[in-house]
Structure 1
Amino acid sequence: MSLEMTESRHPQDDDYPIKPSHGSSGTMIGRRVEDGADGGHPRSFFTRRRKVVLAGSVILTLAAVGGLICLLVKKPWSAQGGQSPFGHHGAHDDYSDGKGGQNGNSGTLPRFSPASAVSISNSVRCNAYTPALDQPFLYGQQPIRGVNLGGWLVLEPFITPSVFEPFLSQNVTDEYSLSKLLGLEKATALIQKHYDSWVTEATFKRIRDLGLNHVRIPVGFWALGNLAPDEPYVPDLSLDYLLQGLRWAAKYGLRVMVELHGAPGSQNGWNHSGRAGKIGWLDGTAEGEKNGERTIAYVKQLLQLLQGPGMEHVSPMFGILNEPAIFLLERERTDRWYKEAFAEMRNITGSGKGPWGVIHDGFLGLTQWEGFMPHSDRLALDVHQYLIFDHSLIRFSRKDQVNFPCDVWSRNMQQSTLKFGPTLVGEFSSATNDCATYLNGIGFGYRWDGTFQSEEDRLAGKPLEEAACEPAKNGHIEGYCSCQTQNRVGSYSQEYRKFLSDFTQTQMDAFEQGMGWFYWNFKTETSALWSYFDGVDQGWIPKDANSRPGGCKALGRPIQPFQED
């Protein structure tokens, strides 16, 4: 995750420890990367079918071209006669393109091609606690209980180390450097293989079976094409997989929060934005302003894509931008950007229509957003809650870590809901140390064992912080301060597993004092404390999110209603 850190305020403040995590727009409908064609460059509808078109008469050719223009100007699903891809006669399943896929994923189709159409019913529901897809989800009355599909359409080294490790010696640290090193053709092959295997239809089925009702899907700006010469990402390809994910979500009655996770120039300088290092977004430079404008263009394009008939049922929330590092930027400038982006969003959807708009708190703290954009049309605030990126909170005793959500985070959610408006937690995990491989970025070490140092501190010649595991305080227990041991699930005692269960469930209780939560992440390759699926398999996450045996009340710390001091 992050390369640069800041300290949160005292834990009793109405704030929270920040997460320093990793860390012209207009993609044509029907464009996709074709194997062995144009060196991997996307090819247009006309090019792929030129023999058929040229074989016809002049009149038929003009009609075909005219039809294509209409298709590109209209919404993506207008090729289906205006029928919803998620309605009673819309596209949903059967994605084979003749190439096959991996792990049960049968490949991708051009966006909402008529060949993918199957009949589904909007009456499908993910569980008995959640309305059917043709009924509104009552945000604020019914809690969001969801997971993130992180590491899928935006690569992260800590989620899938195996994708990056063959190239670490060549200074690969993020999707930007990986794509630049490999070049378009090889990067496309590697990334498409990853897309096919990391998330499949079985992923959505299991999410449904665990009692969850929402999925948050991060996507980078490169999914929408129109890249600058110095942006070596694979363009367009991930958009096909996003749309495939929406089809699967619809099949299992799950609602999706699509979210722009990486912006041109990088909105935070962390690897999960696509490019680690310098922030080149709204940083006070002409290029930073240009990247802010480009980001709004991508936001508009993504919103237009989500305006198809029936899409409101499966994608009722939209994350405008993930984790902009507002604490490092000029607040007035980012406030203006948020207001403009939200206004453009409602210009597209119309008043009272389209998905909720979700903005991130930028690591300023929830109280800093009280009174911002009052009376907006379905605007929500997203905060990411972690103990482990704070040098003080990571040192809390296990008892204090379990109680902290009940006592502090629950109050913060209630206060923000009252003084800003609807507030949700877009990311949290079961982790109580920062030992996950590459969590803080490649080569930056870990607070837990005393090896972590930010780039800023390193350049300033500052000494390393004392190990957060506090070996002297904890009796120099063998293996306790070893991140290798902490990552080894087989070494977890029953007592520790009980603690993880309590900590996870008190967080869920606290975050449901607002709109609810999305766990980060649905799975990882090597870090079980960040994997919802592993947590269920190992016993510290309930098998049904709607039937939780633990939590604040069960531990004798029922959440108290918020009152002004």
Structure 2
Amino acid sequence: MAGDEWSSMGCGDSNDEWSCVQLLGQDAADTAFRTHWQTWITADDLKEIQSYGLNTVRIPVGFWINEDLVNDGEYYPRGGLEYLDYIVGNCTELGLYVIMDLHGGPGSQFPGQQYTGHVVDSPGFYTGDNYERAYKFLEWMTERAHTNPAYFSVGMLQVINEPVHSGDYPSEAADMVANYYPNAWTRIRDREAQLGTADSDKHHIQYMGEAWGSGNPSQNLPDTTFAFYDDHRYYKWDTSVSATQDGYISAACNDNRGGSDIIIGEWSISVADDAQYNGEFDIRDTDANNDWYKKFFAAQAQAFERSGGWVFWSWKCNWIAGFNEWRWCYKSAVDAGIIPKDAASAAGMSPC
């Protein structure tokens, strides 16, 4: 989603942060990532987000942003905390609510995925030692958010992004639901108790919802006060949806993702790989389908607002597959006239 940026950093064909650090060496990689962080998302981006009527930013971070948790022999870029502080501080100044998402867990929580920071064949997250590192990350972030004024807008902590599915890794998923999930809750709440945090100021704690397929996230939680659930709804990969304009609109209009404790934390206006360049959906060198994409955006936004709201994936990317692929990029889709500059006006655009 940012291939040109990745190449400009010198990461070449590296598949993740880990392999880029190995390729460049630690010091050179740190310099390359520092330049990226300084320029990719800035205060101007956040002001633009606010100007479009958006009120929430989900920030995906790797556990390695707390460098004390990185083991010898692990390869992650260093120095990111300074820029996280900068982004969060600007969110606080602008009144943007922040979901702090543990996007890359120790040992990698899902195989073959770049979002973990280290692409692996077998997920290594599901061990006592790596759970402990994740708990320490959550405790550290909890304290930082409650004691650093720049973090005032951080209201929600997501304990892990996109873990394994029960159907593929039944023992790992079951262990996570039985052990990691309730212990993560307890470690956050215990740290808040140590800090003397008022009940009304406690963090919202977020888990992947049951629709993700890892089991019932709440079944072993000691409490569900301020518990929220993340739902990643990509029609693109739902083979039960007819890959036609009418099929996608019908699916979105009739979708019910659940109650107000469910946030659709990732979605896009992309369509199935085998349909995205056909006459109904192509966006390369043509605006013939633009009006349909406006409707598709509005239908999804309306559906997801019947639940707890939404966060689009992603705010910014550069050219994908050699063209301006705005179906994944909120900022680019606004610039293309697909997504309205006032997010609230989507309701009036919905075909439902």
Give the TM-score range, shorter chain.
Answer: 0.7 to 0.9
Q: Deviations over 1:148-205 (max 9, x none)?
A: xxxxxxxxxx234431485445xx1111101111111110111011001101110011
- The residue number in structure 2 matching 1:348 is 191
TM-score, normalised via structure 1 length: 0.55
Aligned mates of 2:28, 2:57 — CA distance in 1: 30
- The residue number in structure 2 matching 1:491 is 286
Aligned mates of 1:260, 1:201 — CA distance in 2: 22
Q: Does 1:323 align with 2:162?
A: yes
CA contact 2:243–2:272 (8 Å) conserved in 1: no
Structure 1: gaps (5+ residues): 1-157, 435-447, 449-467, 470-478, 558-565
Q: Does 1:381 align with 2:208?
A: no
Aligned mates of 1:309, 1:177 — CA distance in 2: 33
Match for 1:206 among 48, 55, 64?
48
Provide the aligned length of Structure 1 versus Structure 2: 335
CA contact 1:267–1:280 (8 Å) conserved in 2: yes
Q: Deviations over 1:199-242 (max 9, x none)?
A: 1110011001101111111111111012112211123x111111
- The residue number in structure 1 matching 2:102 is 260
Match for 2:327 among 506, 518, 529?
529
Cα separation, partners in 2 of 1:338 and 1:219, compared to 1, 3 Å: same
Deviates more, 1:347-356 or 1:379-388: 347-356
- The residue number in structure 1 matching 2:196 is none
Q: Deviations over 1:306-336 (max 9, x none)?
A: 1116567411111111111243332331112
Cα separation, partners in 2 of 1:352 and 1:252, compared to 1, 3 Å: closer
Larger Rg: 1
SS of 1:517's partner is coil
| Aligned Cα root-mean-square deviation (Å) | 2.6
Aligned mates of 1:402, 1:159 — CA distance in 2: 28
Which has the higher relative contact order, 1 or 2, with Cα contacts under 8 A spaced 6 or more apart? 1
CA contact 1:426–1:518 (8 Å) conserved in 2: yes
Q: Does 1:423 align with 2:266?
A: no
Q: Does 1:187 align with 2:29?
A: yes
State the one-letter code of the partner of 1:281.
G
Cα separation, partners in 2 of 1:501 and 1:366, compared to 1, 3 Å: farther
Q: Deviations over 1:247-286 (max 9, x none)?
A: 1112222111111111111011211110112243344xxx
State the one-letter code of the partner of 2:231.
V
CA contact 1:326–1:334 (8 Å) conserved in 2: no
- The residue number in structure 1 matching 2:312 is 519
Aligned ranges 1:56-67 → 2 under 5 Å: none
**Higher helix fraction (1 or 2):** 2
Cα separation, partners in 2 of 1:353 and 1:253, compared to 1, 3 Å: closer
Aligned mates of 2:149, 2:45 — CA distance in 1: 23
- The residue number in structure 2 matching 1:412 is 257
- The residue number in structure 2 matching 1:505 is 298
Aligned mates of 1:309, 1:185 — CA distance in 2: 28
State the one-letter code of the partner of 2:290.
R
- The residue number in structure 2 matching 1:71 is none
Aligned mates of 1:204, 1:300 — CA distance in 2: 27
- The residue number in structure 1 matching 2:72 is 229
SS of 1:231's partner is coil
Structure 2: gaps (5+ residues): 194-198, 320-324
Deviates more, 1:327-336 or 1:191-200: 327-336
CA contact 1:326–1:363 (8 Å) conserved in 2: no
Match for 2:116 among 263, 266, 273?
273
Cα separation, partners in 2 of 1:505 and 1:365, compared to 1, 3 Å: farther
State the one-letter code of the partner of 1:224.
N
CA contact 1:221–1:298 (8 Å) conserved in 2: yes
State the one-letter code of the partner of 2:2.
I
Aligned mates of 2:109, 2:21 — CA distance in 1: 19
Cα separation, partners in 2 of 1:513 and 1:247, compared to 1, 3 Å: same
- The residue number in structure 2 matching 1:20 is none
Aligned mates of 1:367, 1:502 — CA distance in 2: 33
State the one-letter code of the partner of 1:528.
W
Aligned ranges 1:535-554 → 2 under 5 Å: 535-548=333-346, 550-551=348-349, 554=350
State the one-letter code of the partner of 2:314.
N
Q: Deviations over 1:482-511 (max 9, x none)?
A: xxx9463x3231xx1111111111111111
